[in-house]
Amino acid sequence: MNYEPLDLSGLTLVTPTRHGDERGWFSEVFRQDLFGANVADVDFVQHNHSYSKPKGTVRGLHFQLAPRAQGKLVRCTRGRVLDVAVDLRSSSPSFGRHVAVELTAANGRQLWVPAGFAHGFCTLEDDCEIVYLVTDTYSPEHDRGLLWNDPALAIAWPVAAEDAVLSAKDVRQPRLAELGRVFD
């Protein structure tokens, strides 16, 4: 297992080792002891699975407020996605900046997104599935979002706004300047 810290403090790209032969491959995708020693000592309490049918589906940017803030370990199990995390920690030198990585079923990489970040993704092909572990359960009263294509974020999404497939909720999210202080 390889753990690669990314440009924004707290984000880590996790690449499990695959052991293969003519039958295929086997991989440990998560080990509590190794994750705790290399990334964060967390307990995952919920396992989510998301399916997106059309290419150009954007989900996010989502987060939960404290005390129900969530850390997420995200991986793509079918297809390809551009996975994005935006730093919302107001005391962070990287506040408002983002990291974008391509997660695919083929590359097996996972993105660790700690609490304090908004998270979202865009499908790069039809029929994508994402699975992710979270450190707190879903809480509707703490659920928040950030407008996915806010120009202030400067995210190079692989889909034009008029072609993106979005939920009604994600179309109405606030811009970063309207969000206010959500994490210290």
Query: Catalytic: which of 62, 98, 119, 138?
Result: 62
For residue 132, indicate whether it is catalytic: yes
What would the two tokens of residue 108 be?
């097996």
Q: For residue 47, indicate whether it is catalytic.
A: no
The residue written with tokens 């407020």 in the block is: 65
The token duo for 131 is 């699975």
Beta-carbon-side half-sphere exposure of residue 183 (alpha carbons within 13 Å): 25
> How would DSSP label each residue in 68-112?
S---EEEEEEESEEEEEEEE-BTTSTTTT-EEEEEEETTT--EEE
Which of 3, 49, 132, 142 is flagged as catalytic? 132
Burial tier of 103 (Cβ tally within 10 Å: 0-12, 13-18, 19+): buried
With residue 131 as reference, give the H or E element that holds it. Answer: strand 128-134
Q: Which residues have a catalytic role annotated?
A: 62, 132
